[in-house]
Structures are given as structure tokens and as C-alpha cells.
Chains A and B, each alone.
Chain A
Amino acid sequence: MGDCHGCPAATMTLPPRGANGLRRQMVAIVGPPNSGKSTLFNRLTGLRQKVANFPGVTVEHRMGRVRFEGEREVFVVDLPGVYSLNPRTEDERVTHDVLTGGMKDLPKPDAVLLILDSTNLGRHLVLAAPVLSLGLPTLVILNMADDLGRGGGRIDSAELAMQLGSPVALVSAAKGEGLDKVFQFLEGTTKGAALKQKPLMELPVIQDIPKCRAWASNAGSKAKYHAPAPPLWTRRLDAIFLNRIAGPLVFLLVVIGVFETIFAGAKPIQDWIDHLISSSGGWLQTMLPDNAFRSLLINGVWKGVGSVVQFLPQILFLFLFIGILEDSGYLARAALIADRTMARIGLQGKSFIPLLSAYACAVPAIMATRTIESKRDRIATILIAPFMTCSARLPVYTLIIAAFIAPGFQVAALLGLYLAGFLAAIATAKLLKSTVLRSARSSFVLEMPPYRWPTVRSLALRLVDRSKVFLQRAGTVILAVAVVIWVLGNVPYSHGKPPAIGQSVEARIGHAVEPAIRPLGFNWKIGIGLISSLAAREVIVGTLGTIYGMEGSDEHSKDLQEALRQDLSPGGAAALLIFFAFAMQCMSTIAVVRRETGGWKWPAVQFAYMTAFAYVFAFLANRLVTALA
């Protein structure tokens, strides 16, 4: 895949010229974490938004358009949440570079929307000092106005505007209240009518945090700011959710609930999609003449589309849950509860939810590591996530366990494989955190936001956003691999007929790799299966079915189990299970790791490490079982 092949950055980073030939205005949204930045961005742009990564960094940004009458448009870029503009963390560096015009491929913004939490203005106003000192036209947005009023807080926003020398808008982004002033400001930038006033207060030295904090208090008191009462419900809920006994119980219930719903909820939809794909494939088959094109279309492209779309329900369910947990504020509590356990393997509380998600699928899990600010912890979490037993491994496990393991021991074998993946993850995390990704353990600092009701709007937009990323990144890879594997299995054509599987290029590759995999107890047929499973692990089941001449058999097929028993020794079967437990047999995971780490380095390291790990343990499993049998 090319670096920017069809990636949104290519089409969205440079605001194109408008109909009148003038460059369209660009406005940046800046604010601390938990200030409602994304909610505001969603309110302003709706579905007219795209996600992109800045070149060379892992930080993601979103771009959107706001339209006004007369073909006028403003581009809005949502920057990562930051407390300051000191370029220390990657997030802060990106925000700093964009605002000062130092970001490649992105013009310096024409104006800034600075969004702050009005219920905690004393602390949030600190960010106003460095942002206002940039000298760009800035609208200061005081968000959560509804919470401020309900808690008995007050602010004279006109006075604050005088003190800061910038217009101030009091809004509730979640409820959509007070946004006209924001739209007016944006429309003003399209006319170039950004008024600048001289602030009454002089800006502090922005490197001195205590001075900035004192300046913020001063500005607040001049604007008669009165903070609201502490959020009572948050304290009541924390008394339960962080209770010594009830806390862990609620935590466990949430974890089990998330799991149950993902598997139970997504399964029927998955089966339905599977049915739809195969029956529509069957229908297409009757409509088209029997030739190579039909086979490519149905067995390559259409099947590929099917295996991509099949993952979507699980991914949507996972992101729905992560969205609810994050927007409600519980995610921070879950991270707090999980922190001590995760610290034992050198990670931190925020790694827990991504690793849990990896039991469904590593792709959304890796996308969910965004919430981990520490880059080292984030990379470590990404690197161990694919060891968790994802749902694509289950059909493979089911087939081999049913074929080789006595009925009384099947459940134990399955649990053993789950445990093996988990232990491999822990061992790898320990190894990473004591070597290449070593960092001080004390770097865990986590703000507990007040509990809030998640809004349907922001959850829905998040789901749209995540499915787009999945379909673009993972989907295209799975589809491409599915087509390549079809081609390998169907060339060379002779006398207008595809070759028998034993004569295909795929079989030649299988024979070529046989010497390498023979120590594991695998023959060339398993080799073909391993290659085809790079598209997605469960593909090996269908491939083996084809090889043994049982088109369309699934993991419950008795004939396929019997054929495997004839062809594979017990040692080889054990090795195959272990190989699938540890190897990174998944192109979409590789593609997503590349996207999230901003380069090929980590996915290459990860693929090599996991394959070597899998090979060594599969070899040992083969030897051990063969010796015992």
C-alpha cells in the first residue's frame, strides 16, 4: 500500500481555493482534555469531517467544513487536547506546530477557537495565555454553560472579553446552546472581518506556570467568575464505583457485560451478513457465464468483501462500548482500578480496555490505544494486543481441537490456548518495558472527569468515524490479499481451466516453504493454509477445505476433520494450534499498527517477533507431543 493511497490527508490537508479564487479560511480548535472539544467539533461540522494523521506522527486530527451562504466555507481542524503549548509530548508538539504554522502541508490557521470548561475556569484559563499570545484572532468558548448555571456558578463573559481582548461565547456544546456566536465568528473569518481589541490585562510569561495560574485567577475574578458547587452526582457515583468492595464488582460486571454483548450481540448480525454474502454470491454465480472472471469476482473479490464486512458488527459494538465508557467518564475509573494490576507487567491502567478489546479483535484494540498518552506505554500495548485470543482464531481452534482432542479435554485445550496467548502477552510486555520501552513507573497521572451522560450524537459520529477508518485501512488490505490469494490459487490456466489446487502457483509456494515448516510437523498443504490465513486467520479453514476437495466446508465439517487426521500428526496439530496462538497471521492488524505508529518499523518488528515466537513454541510443541505419543 502506498503511503498516502486514498488517505484523507491527501484530499483534506490543504484547503483548496474557493469559487472566487480566494484561499478558504482555516480555523483551529484548541482546548484542554475533557473540555468538550470533540463535541463542539461535531456540532460545527456534523458529517462533513474526515480523520487523518499528520505526516510522520501518530497523532490523529480531524478536519471538517462549515458552510455559509454564498458558497463560503471555513475549514475547521480539531487539534489534540493539551494543557499547554510547550512542545514536550507529541500532542503538544503537533498543536504548537499547527498554531505557529510550522506543520508541513497545513497552512497557519487564520483564527482559533479556544474551548475551555466553564465549570473549572480557573485552571482552564491557563491555556488562554499561550494561545492568545500567538496573536491570531481567537474566540474564547466557555463550554458546559448548563453545568455552570446548574451548580450556581456565574461569569460575566462581556467583562472577560474586555480583559482578554478577545470575544467570549458561553455555550453548551452537548446541548447545542449558544452556538450562534461561534458560527458568527466563523462566518466573520470568511469575510476577513476579525476584530482585534487591546486586552485590558497584560499576558503573563507563558513558561512560568504558577504566574500563568495567578493570571488566570486574576482574569476570572475580574470577570466576577464564581465556580459552581462540586459535582454532587460524581461524588455520589464515585462512592460506589471506587468503593473498596463495590468498585471491583462493578468493574467486573462492566467487563463481563461488554464481552457478552460483543459476542452475543454481534454474532447474529455476523451470521446474517455471512448468509447474505454467500447467497448473493450464489445468485451472482447463476447470472454470469462460467469463466475466470466469474471465479475471481465471486471467490476472490466478493468473498474478500464478505470477510471485511463480517468484522464490522464486532468493531461497531466495541467502539460503542468504548464510546459510552469514555464519554460517561467511567473509563478513567476503570483505568484507575486496573492500574495496580497492569503496573505489575510494566504497563498502566489505560492499557486495560484496549487489551480487553483485543479478545474480540486486535484491530479496534489497537485503534483504542489512542487514550494512552504515554507513547511508550501505547506502543507496548499495541505490540502485545495481537497475542490476545481474537475471535478470528476461534474457527481454527474449533476445527483442530475437534479433529485431534478427545471430547473430555476439548474445553481445557481451548482455555489453555487462551491462557497461552495471555502469558505470551505478559512475558512480552515485561520484556519490552525492561528493555526498549523502559520508562519511569511513576508517569501515571490521570484526571477523573465528572460523570456525564453520553450523547447519541457523539456516539453515532464516533461509530461512523471508526468504521470509515476500519474499512479504509483494514478493509482494503483484506480485500487485496483475498484477491492475490485467489490469483495464486488459480494460475496458471491451462486449456481455459484453472489448475487443480496441487498444480497452482499457491501449491508451488506451499512446496517451497515446506522445508521451513517441516520441523513443526506441517506439510505443503498446511503451508498453503498458513499463507492464505494472512488475509484473516479463519481463512485457513476454507483453504484446507478446498485443498482436501471439500468446497464450502466449515470448522464443524466431520469430513474435513477426518481429512486433517489423515494428513497431520498429533504433534503437527499441537504445533498448528500453538502457531496460531502466537503468530501475527493478520494483514489488517499489520496495516492498523502501521497507521497507528506512523511507520513500518513497529509492525515489522512485531511481525518478526511474533512469527519467531510462534515458530519456536510450535517446534517445541511438536517435539513434546510427538515424544509423548
Chain B
Amino acid sequence: MASPKNLHELRRGESGILDRLEVPEEEARRLMEMGFVPGHRVTPAHAAPGGDPRVFRVDGSEVALRRETAVRLILRPANSPVGS
């Protein structure tokens, strides 16, 4: 199976490094203030019943995102060098 491309594709137990936020500027700033800064590791945690929204661990916090937002937070490809 191909490596997850965005936060929504992350399964439990996986994690990935955030590469970029493909959302409007305003929303990107807000998400970055909540911890979603490119280069940070994101790990999925619990989800609401039905799987949406879902909680992600990032930068010492747990933040819930809806699916529409999660698919727009793009991860670094797994084989690229890790580091921030």
C-alpha cells in the first residue's frame, strides 16, 4: 500500500511529517497556531463515532479536525529525509 499522502489517510499506529497546508491563508495560520506547522510530526488518535472528526497529536497538543481539513494537510513522502 502506498504511503499516506495526507492526514486523513493516516491509519492508527502510523504517523507522518507535515509538509504543507493546502487551505486558504487565514485557515492555514489558524491551523499553524494550533500546532500544524510544516515539519512537525502528526499522529492520529481517537475519532468521533463514525470516524469524523478525528483527533491528531501534533506539537504536544491534541486537535480535532474534520475530514475536509485533514485531506488538505499534505504529508511529506515517506522516503524523503526527515527533519525540521
Task: Give A contacts to B, CB under 8 Å.
Answer: 83-84, 86, 88, 119-120, 122-123, 126, 209-210, 213, 227, 238-239, 242-244, 247-248, 332, 336-337, 339-340, 343, 349, 441-448
Contact = CB atoms under 8 A, between A and B. Distances in A.
B49 A447 contact: no
Contact of A126 (B33, B45, B48): B33
Given A210-B38, A336-B53, A446 B46 contact: no
Given A123-B59, A209-B29, A336-B55, A444 B64 contact: yes
A42 B59 CA distance: 29
Interface string B1-45: 000000000000000000000010011011111110111000001
Contacts of A444: 53, 64-66, 69
Contact of B63 (A86, A88, A244, A445): A445
A549 B38 CA distance: 75
B65 A445 contact: yes
B interface, over-half SS: mixed
B50 interface: yes
Interface residues of B, number: 32
A123 B48 contact: no
A120 B58 CA distance: 11
Contact of B49 (A247, A343, A442, A446): A247
A244 B31 contact: no
Contact of B34 (A238, A243, A441, A447): A447
B64 A448 contact: yes
Nearest to A209: B32
Contact of B66 (A213, A243, A332, A442): A442
Contact of A336 (B31, B34, B38, B48): B48
B33 A83 contact: yes
Given A441-B68, A447-B62, 8 more contacts: A209-B32, A238-B45, A239-B46, A336-B55, A442-B68, A442-B69, A445-B64, A446-B63
A213 B30 CA distance: 13
B29 A448 contact: no
B80 interface: no
B61 A339 contact: no
Contacts of B32: 209-210, 213
Contacts of A120: 59-61
B82 to A, nearest CB: 16
A447 B61 CA distance: 7
Nearest 9 Cβ contacts at the A-B interface = A242-B46, A83-B33, A442-B68, A448-B62, A120-B60, A209-B32, A446-B64, A442-B69, A336-B48
B42 to A, nearest CB: 14
A411 B37 CA distance: 55
A201 B64 CA distance: 34
B23, B27, B55 — most chain A CB neighbours (10 Å): B55
Contacts of A84: 29, 33
B58 to A, nearest CB: 9
Contacts of B34: 83, 445, 447
Contacts of B53: 336, 339-340, 349, 444, 446
A441 B66 CA distance: 9
Nearest to B62: A448
Contacts of B39: 210
B33 A448 contact: no
A209 B39 CA distance: 12
A274 to B, nearest CB: 42
A362 B32 CA distance: 36
A443 B27 contact: yes
B39 to A, nearest CB: 7
A238 B37 contact: no
B27 to A, nearest CB: 7
